[in-house]
Structures are given as structure tokens and as C-alpha cells.
Chain A
Amino acid sequence: MEFAFDLSAAVAVIATLLAISSLDPVHALLYLIVSLLAVAMVFFAIGAPFAGILEVIVYAGAIMVLFVFVVMMLNLGRAAVEQERRWLTPRVWAGPAVLALVLLAELLHVLGRMPAAAGIGEGTIGARAVGAALFGPYLLAVELGSMLLLAALVAAFHLGRNE
């Protein structure tokens, strides 16, 4: 499984890099969808098939389609790409890139000093185990999640009205 993991991890990193550096919002969204599908493949490789399926259906299938629909409704066109080109100069992204790289280097340093942990990906945690835990000890969290979704639904309906 290491082969599948490394390959899809590389795809995820490259697609994410292209997504945050792309000028056209539609291209960025499509790269982001590729990145999410690659992360779903990582989930399959480390033995979490239910999370991988949810990643494909909900993240890449629902949330990203929502983004694509909003981009279609905004109908940005060529002028937006030109504006992005003016905004995204090396002077703008160099500083944040250095800061993010420093934080990432610290994180990798700490991870490198960790004692060698046991491997992941041996055995599979299927949908049955997840469902039993979800509607057993985590029932309250499910109810809170449903209330959060209801609140988001009301807020999106209110904010999205056409005056």
C-alpha cells in the first residue's frame, strides 16, 4: 500500500499547489477536486474506506460542485483573470511563502524527532465499525452536527436572497 500512498500523496501536493497558484477560479477548483480525490485515495491506502468514500461523495461531489455553481453564477470572465495576474506578484506571495515554509519546517523537525510509531494501514476500519461508534458514544455529536447544518441552511438561505 506504500506505493499507492506515495503516488497519491504526490498527486495531492502538486494539485493543491496548482490550485492555490492558479489564476482562473475554474482551473483552481478543478485542481482542488483532483487533490481531494487523491486524498480519498490516501484514505483507501491507509485502511479507511468509509472516509475515502465520504471524501469522494461529499467533499469532491457536493462541496466542490457548490463552488463550481457559485463560480458559474458570478460569471467572472477574462477581466477577473487579468486582475488576479496583477494581484499575484512574487512580492505578494514571497513573504507568506517564507512564513509558511518556516512553520512547515518546524513541524517536520518535530515529526522527525518522534519515536518510531507503529505502522498504519494494517487492517481496515470499515463502515460497520464507524457507524456503530457514530450512533453509540458519539450520538450527541451527531445531533450537534445536524443542528450546525440546520443553522448553516438557514444562514445560507437568508444571505443568498436576492433582496
Chain B
Amino acid sequence: MIYLDNAATSGVKPKEVKNRVIYSLDNLCANPGRGGHKASLAAAEAVYEVRDKLSSFFGAGGAEKVAFTANCTHALNFVIKGVLKAGDHAVVSDLEHNAVMRPLKAVTDNVSVAEVSFFDDDKTAESFKSLIKDDTGLVICTAASNVTGKILPLKKIGRICKEKGVPFLVDAAQGGGVIPIDMKEMNIDYLCLAPHKGFYAPMSTGVLIAEKSIGKTLIEGGNGTDSLSLIQSAVMPGGFESGTVGLPTICGIGGGVDFVNRRGRKNIYDHETSLISRLYDRLSSLEKVIFYTPRPENGSFAPVLSFNVSGKNSEEVAATLDRRNIAVRAGFHCAKSAHEKLKTTDVGAVRVSPSIFNGINEIDYLYEIIKKI
């Protein structure tokens, strides 16, 4: 199998990840943050270590700013529904995933959509700026589109948010661990992550990093503190970690951060981007291939490429590739907004997303198969 669907989840797991998961299963038997015995504290220390690694990786204010959630979507729900009240105004980009748009729709219809330019980041930032009002409660944008790969100008948007005094939420499900993100430098108040993608971790644990308070909790329950009170405080991280956290998965995330640091985030990004650029260049020679974005230049696009084959539904193309043991993602990628922007709500798109473990030969084989379709 040639796995090129890493934007959905990482296919190959590095040894650092697998070793840490196995270590936790063998050695960390207790519930972290629940008991006072040595085993529970050892488990809590392991979780704390991963919080600390993530805080350092993303330039956050400390381990206590990092909460582990069920997944990135839960983390986004915590912020959107905790910060905004019904009817509040929010600004989003036109490339958002449903993980942002659906919880937002559940809270408010008072939403302005900023236009993302594939060519001009200043124009994108200006679009956000023009839509922020005195009563805007939250600005939300994806770090990188899961359909087009376009990296949003987070630093420019963050600066505008700071100037306007509006909280800034970044959905880094795509791009977290792959593209440069520094919360302090970019004035990001809330960062949500899917470590099973950019950090090659197991599925089922997301990450919420909050520099600012989130007004209220969304899911309440036991979290190891203040058990005699029925009121759960919204203090990070415990306020957003009701119930037992996924210790083996969290340890796997720690291994993933170690892997990315060892290989070098930029090296990983450069390798994956070189594969996508090569595919773009090769497919450009085929008249039947339709692109929706310019050539993915290094620094402007995450390593994701969506296209179609003229006259074919995207699912047909993906099924043909699957018969040749190539895994890609077709359809609408849970991103209504992005496909409306690309005008592909009729056919969807074929999305290719490599990882550090893919090579040129696999990209060339993919090209040869598409050429024959």
C-alpha cells in the first residue's frame, strides 16, 4: 500500500511513538491525577512531560496551558462554545473545516467570512481586519487548509486581533507539527491540534492550548480535584479534562514530538513539500488534470494537493487508485466552505497528502496511474 492520506491521519508511526505507547502500557498502570500513590503520580508525571513538550514546541506559556481532549474537534468545541455566547459575532476564513463551522453554527449565525487569497497574504489579512467589529467575540482560522493546503498568515492575523483586542483561535489540525506555529509570536490565544496527524501519534487524543481563559466548561465530570463540589471550574487544564485521559496515546504524542524534533520540523516540511511540488509539476503535463491552487511554493502551502481528472468524479479516481493500492482521499473532506470556494461541490476533489515516510518513487507511480485514467 502506498499511503498518501496523511492529512486524514498519519499512516506510518515512528519508533519513538510506538515505543512510548508500549512503555506506558507496560509501566504506567495507574490513573494520572487521581491518586496519591506512586503509580498514579508516575503516570501524572508522564502526562505532564508531554504537556511541557507541546508547550515548548508551540511557544506557549507553560505545561498547565495544555489540555488533552478526545480529539481536535472537541478542543475546538470547548473554545467556540466556551468563549462565544449565542448570537455573538465571529470572523472565520473561507477555508474552514466543519469542525469549526458546525459548532459555530450551533452557537451563532452572526458570522463574517474572510476571503483567503492564494497569492497575497496581505490581502487575506486585510479581509480579516475589515470584518472585525467592536463586538466581535472571536476570530477563528485554520492554520492550513485541509483541502488546498494554503497556509494562512497567522502572524499577520494575530497582530490584527491583538490590536483590536479580539481573541484568536487557530485550528491547527492540519499543519500542527509541520508548519511553523509560535503562539506567543503569532498572538494566538487558543490553539487546537490533532497530534495523530502532524506528530504521528495514535488517534483518539486531541490537544487544546489556551493562553486565555475559556469562560465555561462544556463537559463536566470527575477530574481528580474538588470532588466534594458539584461545580467544575473552567481552569486549564483540568476543567477541560473530565474523565480519564488517554495515557498511552498521550505518551505516544510525546514520542511524536521527540520524533519531529529529532528529524527537524522544517526538514519534514521540506521533504513533503518537495513531493507535492513534484506531483504538481508532473500532473501539469496532463491536460485532463484540473488544479484549484497555484504551484505549492515552499512556505505558502502545507504538503497537500487537491485536483480532479476532467470528466471523472473524485470518488471514481480514488477508487481506481485504491485498486492499484494507492490510498488518497476523495470527496468533500468535511470542508463545505473550502469546496464552495473551489466550486467543487458537485464532484469533490482528489486529495494527496504525503508524510516523511513517502518517497519520490511513490509519487511517480501515482502519476503513472493517473496518466492512464
The finding on whether chains A and B are genuine partners in a shared complex, rather than unrelated, reads no
Q: Please report B residues at the A interface, Cβ cutoff 8 Å.
A: none
